[in-house]
Amino acid sequence: MAQWFLLLCIFFISASASNFQTKVTDNPADELVAVLNSNRTGNKLSSLYSNPGLACLALQYIKAYQGECSAVGGPDAKKPAESEFAETFAPNCDVKASSLAQITGRFLACQSKYAEPSEAFNNILIRNSKSLDILNSKNHTEVGAAVSGSDGGGPYFWCILFSNGKPKSSFVTEGGEPKVTRPGCFSGANDQCNGANTLSRTIHLWPMALGSFVALLYAL
């Protein structure tokens, strides 16, 4: 009887760890693209191709702000020079400069508190009629999104870049996949990534599980 009880407890602990791991592998940048495309198709517009090379550039765009929220919007707003795309962002992502296409729109936002993708999209990135015009533009063919905190915490940045490039022919990477850098997540990366603190909760789950397991052994 005690052995069956032990096996059930081990199964429960493993299932709990698996559940937390599932949350870790969720990519908020992919979810951001999904929300965006859902909004477009809801307005009878075509969905946009999720280009990982373009998404990596979106993460580099965020990194150019070096964690300065005050530089995003408002009187002190700054914007990376367009030349940065070819000179800095593309090399950092292993994106071929010759495959860069026109950026037809961009969203960028920053705040101290993390927000889930749907909330970030609807309440932070889409704020006025100009935002809606960019979202619903027929000039876009592809999109790339990125989400990043600073050293695992706030402030949090969200960036979406749009392009009129030819899907699978623009923002092409040298090795077939963009270079993954931390902190931050970008869409289409096929990478385990999470925008908030779920990862730290996962890391702390295993000591808890082991502690329960050891306590159980002593109890038996």
Instruction: Taking residues 115-131, report their average pLDDT.
Output: 94
Give the CA distances from residue 39 to residues 34, 118, 140, in Å, rounded to whole numbers and listed in that order: 9, 11, 14
pLDDT at 194: 57
Rounded distance between C-alpha atoms, residue 125 and residue 11, angstroms: 42
62-108: per-residue pLDDT in tens? 999 999 999 998 777 889 999 999 999 999 999 999 999 999 999 99
- The per-residue pLDDT for 68 is 92
- For residue 19, what pLDDT band results from cuts at 50, 70 and 90? very low
pLDDT in tens, 28-74: 999 999 999 999 999 999 999 999 999 999 999 999 999 999 999 87
What contacts 24+ positions apart, CB below 8 Å, involve 41-47?
43/136, 45/136, 45/138
Calpha distance 138→205 (Å, rounded) = 46
Angle between helices 2-25 and 198-219 (to 10 degrees): 170
Question: Tokens 């090795």 sit at which residue?
Answer: 175
Q: Do the Cβ atoms of 138 and 114 come closer than 8 Å?
A: no
- Predicted pLDDT of residue 187: 95
Q: What whole-number distance in Å separates Cα of residue 62 and Cα of residue 96? A: 20
More confident residue, 136 or 18: 136
pLDDT at 183: 84
pLDDT at 211: 38
Asked if the model's pLDDT at residue 135 lies above 80, the reply is yes
* Residue range 4-20: mean pLDDT, rounded: 42
pLDDT reported for residue 138: 96
CA distances from 71 to 65, 80, 110 (A): 7, 11, 9
Q: Letter for the amino acid at 186? A: F
Q: What is the pLDDT of residue 40?
A: 97
Residue 144 sits at φ, ψ, to 5 deg, of -145, 135
Residue 9 has which token pair? 């407890």
Per-residue model confidence (pLDDT) at position 208: 39
pLDDT digits (tens, 9 = 90+) for 163-197: 999 998 999 998 878 877 778 999 998 766 754 44
Contact 160, 46 (CB under 8 A): no
Classified as helix, coil or strand, 155 is: strand
Backbone dihedral region for residue 217 (phi beyond 0: left; psi -120 to 50: alpha; all else: beta) = alpha
Assign 151 a pLDDT band (cuts: 50, 70, 90): low
Helix (H, G, I), strand (E, B) or coil at 184: coil
